[in-house]
Structure 1
Amino acid sequence: MFDTLNRTTGIRAVRRGSFPQVNIGASPERVDVYLFGAGLDPKTVDISIEKSLLAVSGSREVPTREGGAYYRRERFGGDFRRVVSLPEDVDPEHADANYRDGVLHITVPRRESVRPRQIEVR
């Protein structure tokens, strides 16, 4: 019975405890990806987009106290890799990323040719 509580469901589900946690939002102009990774060094993060797959990898060092005993450790340390699907109409050549207050924000604009445009009636 308890084994079923830890299983993921759905095609886009990820394993509980995946790092970093991800929020993805979209508008007609762009796709915004937010990765929540407090303590990351932006210089150690690698971001790539290939065939509408956004891959983010790197590592995070979690300081440990030498000789200390831990009763519980929930903060993830070590290497990580997250891959998320993006819509087919994004333009990876103009993607931008910044890291602030523990949040890595990646902005991927949509191609100009597929954006909705207003047509003026004369």
Structure 2
Amino acid sequence: MYRSLFPRDIFAEMDRLQHDVQQAFDLSPTIRGFARNGFPALNVGSTPQALEIYAFAPGVDPASLEVNLERGLLTIAGERKSALPEAGGSKASVHINERFDGAFRRVMTLPDDADPEAVQAKLKDGLLHITVQRRASAQPRRIAIQ
């Protein structure tokens, strides 16, 4: 019977390794922005009245989350604990661990018309929704002609 000298998925492993190395050195901006591998993943959008920021942070304890706004910089920081067994007394071994755990920090610059006094943050089911209202002076308005 024919036996291969290589594991069956060696090419898949080499492809994964090449992809990881390429992402580590790829710093060019894309439509998704610079931090493609950042945690938590962000969706950012805007309306004429507000900026809407969604941070996907499943498994994060709400008590460990911090949202700060200072000098036009919005910071989302916190920590996600590992759900894996500890290596100390356990006989379990981990073969693949693709879930991020540990401390994280995401920082984004807000536009000049963002109102730092009108910010709301809500966490539900691992989705952090931050709404930053725009200043009333920056709102579009119709000017009456006299």
Question: Taking structure 2 as the reference length, what is the TM-score of the superposition?
Answer: 0.74
Query: Structure 2: which 5+ residue stretches go unaligned?
Result: 1-17
Q: Which amino acid in 1 is paired with 2:34?
A: A
User: Is 1:72 aligned with 2:72?
Assistant: no
- C-alpha distance in structure 2 between counterparts of 1:4 and 1:45, whole Å: 31
Structure 2 vs 1, CA of residues 4 and 77 (structure 1 numbering), >3 Å: closer, same or farther? Answer: closer
Residue equivalent to 1:10 = 29
Question: Taking structure 1 as the reference length, what is the TM-score of the superposition?
Answer: 0.88
Deviations 1:14-67 (A, max 9, x none): 1x4311000100011000110000011112111111222110111011212243
User: Is 1:81 aligned with 2:100?
Assistant: no
Aligned counterpart in structure 2 of residue 40 of structure 1, from 60, 67, 77: 60
Aligned counterpart in structure 1 of residue 48 of structure 2, from 10, 19, 28: 28
After TM superposition, the structure 1 stretch with the greater mean CA deviation from structure 2, 65-74 or 85-94, is 65-74
Question: Shift of the alpha carbon at 1:118?
Answer: 2.4
Query: Structure 1: which 5+ residue stretches go unaligned?
Result: none
Identity %: 37
Larger radius of gyration: 2
- C-alpha distance in structure 2 between counterparts of 1:5 and 1:81, whole Å: 20
User: Is 1:61 aligned with 2:61?
Assistant: no
- C-alpha distance in structure 2 between counterparts of 1:121 and 1:42, whole Å: 51
Question: Shift of the alpha carbon at 1:68?
Answer: 1.5
Residues matched between the structures, number: 120
